[in-house]
Chain A
Amino acid sequence: MTILLFLVPLALLLGAIGLVAFMWSLRSGQFDDLDGAAHRVLMDDDIEKDL
C-alpha cells in the first residue's frame, strides 16, 4: 500500500493543476463572453484575404 503515498499526492497535484488553470482562465476574462467564444473559434479572421 506504499504506492498510495505516491498516488494520492499525484492525484491531488493533477487536480490542483486543473484548478489553477481554471482560475487563470477566469482571471483573464475568458468567461466574459461565452456565446461569442463559441462562434469566434469558427472564424478565419487570421487568414488574410486576397482580393
Chain B
Amino acid sequence: MTAAFDYESLVTASDSGIQRFDAAIDGMTCAACIIDIEHGLRDLPGLLNVRVNYTNRRLALEWRDDSFSLSDAFERLRRMGYALHPFEISQSEREETETSRRLLRCLAIAGFGAMNIMLLSVGVWVGGDIDPETRDLFHGVSALIALPAAAFAGQPFFSSAFAALRAGRLNMDVPISVGVMLALVMSVYETLTHADHAYFDSAMMLLTFLLLGRFLDHAMRRKTRAVAANLAALRTPLACRLLPNGEEIMTPLARIKAEDIVRVRPGERLPIDGDILSGASTLDESLITGETMRRPVRQGDVVYAGSLNYDGLLSIRVVKASGATLLDEIERLLEKVSAARSAYMRLADRVSRLYAPMVHVGALITALLWLMRGASFHDALITAICVLIITCPCALALAVPAVQVVASGALFRAGVLLNSADAIERLAEADTILFDKTGTLTAPDQRVINADKINAAIIDLAATIARASTHPLARAIARERPRGATCEVREEQGHGVCALVNGEEARLGSVSYCAMEMEALELGPIDPEISLVAFRHGARSALFHIRQTLRSDAATQIQRLKDLGFSIEIMSGDRKEAVEKIALVLGVDQWRSAMKPKDKVARLEELRLAGRKTLMIGDGLNDAPALAAAYASISPIEATQLTQAAADAVFLGERLAPIITTLAIARQARHLMRQNLALSVIYNIFAVPLAMAGLLTPLIAAAAMSGSSLLVTLNALRAGKDDLTGDEKESSMDREEGFLAETFL
C-alpha cells in the first residue's frame, strides 16, 4: 500500500482514560513470536500493556498518556517482520464471546451436578442391599442438586425450544427439552413414591454432554469468526482519502465523512456513494443494480458504493458517508466465510429438519405400542424417554460442521483464509494446478534493476502513472519513488496504463503497447528472468528492467505437488523467455506465455472438457476471470480486491507452502465428513430399534448418545492435525532449499 494509514482513528478510549488499540498480526509463525512481539514493544514510552492473543493472532495495546506513539509501535513491528492490520471488534463478535462464556458456565454447572448425582446414583444402582431410607435420602439429595442445576444449565436448550415452539416450528432442542423435563418429572415422582430408581443422573449427563458438544461447536465457530474478522482487516475496509495537500491516506471506511475526497484504483470496489470529481472509468454495478453490463462513467456522474472500478483511477467526492452498503457487502462475504455451508452440510441440515418431527412421532408410537401391549404407563413412558434421548441428533448434526470448523481452523494456522462456501470440497477434488507467474510463483516484491541508467525525470513520471495501477510490475516502478502524487489513468487489462500528461498521452505497459519492439530487439538477448516494462511519452521513452525473484520455496513446493500426482502448468501473460526460464528452474514442462485473460479462461475450459478439476492460483487483475472460471482457486493476500473476491481461498505470507497444506487439509476434511455421516447413520440404525424395544435404560441411552457425538467430534478433530506436524517438520528444509533456488536465480 503506497498511502500511509490513519491509525489514530481506530483507538478506543475507556472511561478510566486508558486507550486501547486492537490489530490482527500478519507474520506470526510460532509461539516464540508472542514473546518476540511483547518484549519488542514493552519498552516503548507510555505503553501500559501489550498482550498477544496467540489463538486468534491478535495484538492489544493499552496506554494512558500522550507520550506513546502508535506509529512508533507499528514501525518497530514492521522492522521485526510483522505487519499489523487494525480493526474494530464488531458487535456480533462481542456477542459470540459472551455466548461462549455463557455456554461454558452452563457446562460447568451441568458437569458439577452430573458428577455429584453420579456419586450418589452409583451407590443406588450398584448396592442391591441398600436400605430404603438411604436410597430415598440419595434420591432426595440428587433432586435438590438436579432441579436447580438443570434449570440453569438447560437454559440454552429450553429457550431455543420455546422460541421454536412459539414460532410454530420444531427444532432439535424440542426433543432434548421434552426428554430432559420428562426424565426429571418422572424422577421426582419416583422419589416421592419411594420407588427403586430415579433418573436424575441420566438427565444431567445428557445435559452435560449436549452442552459439551454445543460448546465445542461454538468455540470452533467463534475461532473462524475471529479469523473472518482478521480477514476483514486484511481485506481493507479502508478507503484511500485524498488530503487537501494532495497526499493520500488510508482511512477506515467508518471514518470517512461527507465531502471527503476518495481515490479508487482499478480493481477496487467503490467504498462510498458520491460523484466523480475527476477521472473516467467503467464500473461493474452488478452488485447494486443487477445489471451485468459495465457502465462507463466520467466527471460529474453519480456512483454507488459496491460498484467495481474496472479501468481508470477515480477521485470521488463523498455524498453519503455511511458506507453502509459496502460494509453490508463485506459482512455478507464474512457470513459466507464463517457459515461455509457446503453441499454436504446442507444435506445434514435437511436431514435434521426432517428428523425432529420423526423423533417425536417415533417416541409417541413407542409409548402407544407399549401401552397397547399391556405395559404399565410408567414403563411405556420410560421407553419413550429412552427413544427421545437416544435419537438426539447430535452425531448427525455435528458430523459435517465439526469437520469444517476444525479444517478451517487448521487452514488458518497454516495461513490460509477460506472465502467460498463449498471451497473445502472443491479444493479436495482438484487434480490439475495452474499457476500464474508474476506475483504468484514469484515473490510479490520486484525491483527495477536499471534505474540508474534511466533519466530521473522519466522515472518520476512513470512512477506517477504506475502508482495508479495495482499490477505488480507497476508497483515495482512506483516503489522507485516512494513519495509522490498520482494522476488519472486508464488501465487496459493485460496491456498497460495510459494517462494524459501535458496534453500528450503517456503510456506504461507491455513493449507492444508502447510500440517499442525495435528498442527491445536492440537490447539483444537479455537475462531471461527480467521483465521489460515500456514507457513512452511523446519522444521520451524508456525500457524498465524488472527482476522477479521466485518465492523462496517455489521449487520445493512445485516438486512436492508433482510428487503428489498433481499436474502442474504455468499460465503467464509475461514474455516467453521469462516464463521459460522460470519453468525450467521449477521443472514445469507445461507452460504458456503471453496469455491474455481470455486465453487463460479458454485453457481452463479446455481442461474442464478433458475432465480435469482445475485449481487456479493467481493474483493479478488479469487472473480474476480465470480464478472465477476454475473449479477451485486460491490467491495470495497481495492480490487486488477483485481477484481475492473471485478466489475460494486466500493465503498469507511469502511462501507457497500453504497451498500444499490447503490441499492436504481439504482432502482429509472431505474424507472425515463422509466418515462422520456414515458413523452417525449407522449409530441411529442400531440404536433406535433397541431403544424402541425397551432394551435400554435412560442412563445407557444418555451414555450411548453422548458417546456417538463425542466419537464424531473426536473424529473431526483429526482434520488437519497430521498434516500440520508434517509441514512443520519440513519447513526448515523448505527454507534451505528455497534459499538455494533464490541464489540460483
Contact = CB atoms under 8 A, between A and B. Distances in A.
Contacts of A18: 112
A45 B108 contact: no
Nearest to A39: B31
B115 interface: yes
A16 B53 contact: no
A33 B55 contact: yes
B563 to A, nearest CB: 31
B108 to A, nearest CB: 5
A16 B105 contact: no
Contact of A39 (B34, B39, B56, B116): B34
Contacts of B116: 11-12, 15
A36 B53 contact: yes
Contacts of A39: 31, 34, 54
> Which of the listed residues B54, B56, B120 has the most CB atoms from chain A within 10 Å of its own CB?
B54
B227 to A, nearest CB: 13
B53 A33 contact: yes
Interface string B20-53: 0000000000010011001100000000000011
A25 to B, nearest CB: 10
B590 interface: no
Interface in B144-171: 145
A4 B105 CA distance: 29
A43 interface: yes
A45 B39 contact: yes
Nearest to A42: B31
B134 A36 contact: no
B119 interface: yes
Contacts of B38: 45
A35 B55 contact: yes
Given A12-B145, A40-B34, A45-B39, 16 more contacts: A1-B134, A15-B116, A19-B108, A22-B108, A23-B108, A26-B104, A31-B101, A32-B53, A32-B55, A33-B54, A35-B31, A35-B54, A35-B55, A36-B53, A36-B55, A45-B35
Q: 4 closest Cβ contacts across the A-B interface?
A: A36-B54, A39-B31, A35-B55, A33-B53
Given A43-B35, A45-B39, A34 B137 contact: no
Contacts, number: 54
B141 interface: yes
B579 interface: no
A35 B38 CA distance: 16
Contacts of B101: 26, 31
A51 B309 CA distance: 55
Most interface-central of B55, B120, B134 (chain A CB within 10 A): B55
A24 B544 CA distance: 64
A34 to B, nearest CB: 6
Given A1-B134, A4-B137, A19 B55 contact: no
B134 A4 contact: yes
B109 interface: yes
Q: Is the interface of A mostly helix, strand, loop or mixed?
A: helix
Interface string B118-132: 011000000000010
Contacts of A31: 101, 104
Contacts of B112: 15-16, 18-19
Nearest to A44: B35
A36 B56 CA distance: 9
Nearest to A27: B101
B108 A34 contact: no
A43 B34 contact: yes
Contacts of B131: 1
Contact of A36 (B34, B39, B108): B34
A38 B54 CA distance: 10
A38 B34 CA distance: 12
Nearest to B413: A35
Interface string B91-116: 00000000001001100110010011
Interface in B61-119: 101, 104-105, 108-109, 112, 115-116, 119
Nearest to B107: A22
Nearest to A7: B119
Contact of B141 (A1, A8, A22, A32): A8
Contacts of B104: 26, 31
A15 B53 contact: no
A49 to B, nearest CB: 10
A43 B52 CA distance: 14
A34 B31 CA distance: 12
Given A8-B141, A15-B116, A43-B35, A23 B54 contact: no
A11 B119 contact: yes
Contacts of B109: 19
Nearest to A19: B112
A1 B109 CA distance: 29
A23 B52 contact: no
